[in-house]
Amino acid sequence: MTALVLFGGGGDLAMRMLLPSLYFLEHDGLLPEGLKIIGAARSEESREEYVGKVRTAVEGKAKADDAWDDASWSRLEARLDYLAVDATSAESLKPLKDKVGPGACTSFLAVSPSLYARIVTAMRAAGLAEADDKVVLEKPVGRDLDSFREIDDAVADAFSEQQVFRIDHYLGKETVQNLIALRFGNVIFEPLWNNLSIDHVQITVGETVGVGDRWPYYDEYGALRDMLQNHMLQLLCLVAMEPPSDLDPDSVRNEKVKVLRSLRHVTDEDAERVTVRGQYVSGTVDGTRVKGYDEERGADSDTETFVAIRADIDNWRWAGVPFFMRTGKRLPEKRTEIVIQFKPVPHSIFGQDARDDEAANRMIIELQPEEDISLTVMNKKPGLDQRMQLQPIKMSLSWGVGGKGDAPPRRRIAYERLLLDALNGDSTLFVRRDEAEKAWEWVDGVSQAWADGNVKPQPYRAGTWGPDASDMLMARTGRDWNTQE
Ligand SMILES: NC(=O)C1=CN([C@@H]2O[C@H](COP(=O)(O)OP(=O)(O)OC[C@H]3O[C@@H](n4cnc5c(N)ncnc54)[C@H](OP(=O)(O)O)[C@@H]3O)[C@@H](O)[C@H]2O)C=CC1
Ligand SMILES: O=C1O[C@H](COP(=O)(O)O)[C@@H](O)[C@H](O)[C@H]1O
């Protein structure tokens, strides 16, 4: 018998993401036989009460996906249990150890990261950090390199690196994994995947939601630490890394670390030129009037809700190819995409008329709202015009759009893949300690440059794509952000 313990099993992450993911895995027959799932939090509640809450959380999502059935729910329900514990106390964890029994235990810490160090210390004392056990840590681990190391040292006292699974849920997204397939499962892209053919790369993670009630957490982190340090740098690594020799966890992660090591440090002199900080003020999103960040927080704040950065990777493959990243809350669209902008043809044979229509090839790896990978190529406009007319055509390269025949498979929650991998002990899609350290080191450089230069967030109206300075960041280099759907 093995067990999955969800510390914080009644919290937002557990109810919105983890338990629905476990239901879908159960529905598809993918959960290991005999796996017990134990919610553990301080609230005193019975197993029945907890199971009732889980059902409410799961049923709506499953029905929306047409995947609800009583038999799957009954199987999941039979696995579920709950125990009221203070996870920071070894004494309190002893009954949990008894419930887990002698089998291997995977503990998912869906609690505030400020508790991680105390919880893993208590787990170790309570016998929940044995050689076969694993621990899954949610981001953000720390708010800078020093605090990351402090927490991670406590984790390392209890667990070896092979037992630690640092989640970045972006790595569980289907299209992110498809990017790996696209790059390394095809021969046609690799010869072009470098500074000879690629002009620049853009990574956009736009959200329409505001910070709202999350401000106590968010105000301490801001967009740089909440999104860029983890999700966006992970995407950058997957685009920029060298081909790993295989898909072993360390082969992939070794390549990602090399990219992070090659990121050019942002100096105090560069900060204004290569970075933009923004904070939303009131505006209109999706037709609804929304408050500004300061109003939500109830006080003035210097926390950025938008960041745009030009990153340079100092190695042979990427010399001279800027990677532009931007992310923000209260933007006009929920849109996550990676744009690979190829260089224009070196010489046009089609004459001036056609030249106006000629566009360089562009690959768009779209993660949200749809999942798709597309490539824009030039085509002849049909017709008998004397001079050949060109037009860009967007070709879908993935199952998401334009597939023939079968409907695309259900869009999975990113945590489904990651929970399954953690249970199976496969850490390929998890972040290794040295990766997280290098990412923090780079991000610390940016925040230090902001502090040294007194760089404050510039206001942007909710419902716009951030401060004008974000467009200027691109325009200064003769480029602009992608607006192509
Ligand atoms: N929510 C989200 O969408 C995302 C969350 N995360 C991360 O996930 C983690 C959890 O976030 P979220 O679910 O939003 O937080 P919540 O505040 O909603 O939930 C936290 C949970 O922790 C429990 N808890 C608090 N203290 C203890 C303790 N000493 N012992 C045992 N349980 C405890 C709480 O229950 P009780 O009070 O009963 O103890 C509650 O169930 C954080 O690390 C967050 O950064 C990351 C990405 C997205
Ligand atoms: O980790 C986080 O991610 C979400 C965005 O996730 P997505 O899968 O919806 O793109 C973000 O809203 C949140 O602030 C951050 O903590």
485 is in an annotated binding site: no
First to last CA, the chain: 49
- Mean pLDDT across 447-459: 97
Polymer length of the chain: 485
What phi and psi, each to the nearest 5 degrees, are found at residue 218?
-65, -35
Quick: pLDDT tens for 288-327. 999 999 999 999 999 999 999 999 999 999 999 999 999 9
Task: For ligand 1, say whether the CB of 13 is within 6 Å of any of its atoms.
Answer: yes
- Mean pLDDT across 68-78: 97
Task: For ligand 1, say whether the CB of 114 is within 6 Å of any of its atoms.
Answer: no
C-alpha torsion sign, points 127, 129, 131, 135: positive
Q: Residue 316 has which token pair? A: 């042979």
3-state secondary structure of 278: strand
Burial classification of residue 434, based on how many CB atoms lie within 10 Å of its CB (0-12 exposed, 13-18 middle, 19 or more buried): middle
DSSP labels, 408-432:
PPP---HHHHHHHHHHHT--TTSB-
- Nearest CA owner, ligand 2 atom 14: 226
Higher pLDDT, 484 or 101: 101
Residue 402: predicted pLDDT: 43
438 is in an annotated binding site: no
For the ranges 46-60, 200-214, 228-242, 386-400, the lowest mean pLDDT is seen at 386-400
Q: Which of 217, 444, 206 is nearest to 337 (CA)?
A: 206
Whether residue 59 has pLDDT greater than 80: yes
Please tell me the distance from the alpha carbon of residue 446 to that of residue 449, in angstroms, as a whole number. Answer: 5
Residue 386: predicted pLDDT: 81
For the entire predicted model, the pTM comes to: 0.95
Amino acid at the residue 104:
A
Residues in contact with ligand 2 (CB, 6 Å cut-off): 207, 226, 336, 368
- Mean pLDDT across 187-192: 96
Map 129-195 to HEC letters. Answer: CCCCCEEEECCCCCCCHHHHHHHHHHHHHHCCHHHEEECCHHHHCHHHHHHHHHHHCCCCCHHHCCC
Quick: pLDDT tens for 221-270. 999 999 999 999 999 999 999 999 999 999 999 999 999 999 999 999 99
Which of 15, 42, 151 best tests ligand 1's pocket when mutated (most atoms within 8 Å of CB)? 42
Say which DSSP state 263 is in. B
| Maximum CA extent, the chain | 85
Residue 357: predicted pLDDT: 73
Please tell me the distance from the alpha carbon of residue 91 to that of residue 455, in angstroms, as a whole number. Answer: 47
Residue 399: predicted pLDDT: 63
Amino acid at the residue 277:
R
Residue 165: predicted pLDDT: 98
326 is in an annotated binding site: no
Which of 5, 6, 12 best tests ligand 1's pocket when mutated (most atoms within 8 Å of CB)? 12
Q: Residue 148 has which token pair? A: 């990351």
Residue 153: predicted pLDDT: 97
Higher pLDDT, 410 or 357: 410
Catalytic residue numbers, as ranges: 231
User: Strands (DSSP E) along 231-345, which ranges?
Assistant: 275-281, 283-285, 288-290, 306-311, 323-328, 335-342
Neighbours of 301 (CB within 10 A): 18
Quick: pLDDT tens for 366-418. 999 988 999 999 999 899 888 888 899 999 987 654 444 566 678 899 999 99
Q: Residue 272 has which token pair? A: 């204004």
Residue 290: predicted pLDDT: 97
| Helix (H) or strand (E) run with residue 39 in it | strand 36-41
Q: Residue 82 has which token pair? A: 């709950």
Share of the chain above pLDDT 90, in %: 89
Residue 267: predicted pLDDT: 97
With cut-offs at 50, 70 and 90, classify the pLDDT of residue 350: confident
**Rg of the chain in Å (alpha carbons):** 24
Which of 13, 19, 165, 205 best tests ligand 1's pocket when mutated (most atoms within 8 Å of CB)? 13
Please tell me the distance from the alpha carbon of residue 200 to that of residue 322, in angstroms, as a whole number. Answer: 5
Which residue do the tokens 């902008």 mark? Answer: 341
Distance of CA 143 to the CA centre of its chain: 17
Whether residue 472 has pLDDT greater than 50: yes
- Mean pLDDT across 13-24: 97
For the ranges 140-144, 456-460, 462-466, the lowest mean pLDDT is seen at 140-144
| Triad 373, 438, 216: Cα angle to 5° | 85
User: What ipTM score was computed for the predicted complex, to two decimals?
Assistant: 0.97
With cut-offs at 50, 70 and 90, classify the pLDDT of residue 75: very high
Distance 407 CA to ligand 2 centre (A): 27
Looking at all shown ligands, the one closest to residue 230's CA atom is 2
Alpha helices in 34-69 (DSSP H): 47-64
Looking at all shown ligands, the one closest to residue 368's CA atom is 2
